[in-house]
Amino acid sequence: WGVQLEPIRGPITPVQGEENLSRACAVFKLILRFMCDTHMNEKREKLLSDFIVQMGLKYEGIRDEILCQLANQT
């Protein structure tokens, strides 16, 4: 645990299925972009944060993972 500046190779929490493994890593890349892109305008920030939330709403299997990733990065 602890703030990371590089993409993760695997999920932080136990995740079932290859698709969810891929989604977990992809969401983490989006979280990194959200946190590290200092040139992102408000509209793009909103769009990216909404997309991250929608991933959790759509894919129940990565909800806990997204929460842990966000908690880890703050």
Contact 49, 24 (CB under 8 A): no
pTM above 0.85, yes or no: yes
Q: Give the chain's domain count.
A: 1
Residue 65 lies in domain = 39-74
| Residue 2 confidence (pLDDT) above 90 | no
Residue 27 within a domain = no
Report residue 16 as tokens: 């079932």
Residue 24 within a domain = no
Query: Given this model, what pLDDT does residue 1 score?
Result: 66
Q: Give the pLDDT mean for 7-33.
A: 96
Residue 73 within a domain = yes
Q: Give the pLDDT mean for 9-29.
A: 96
74 pLDDT band, cuts 50/70/90, is confident
Residue 30 CB partners (closer than 8 Å, separation 6+)? 48, 51, 52
The conformation of residue 16, written as its DSSP 8-state character, comes to -
Residue 6 CB partners (closer than 8 Å, separation 6+)? 32
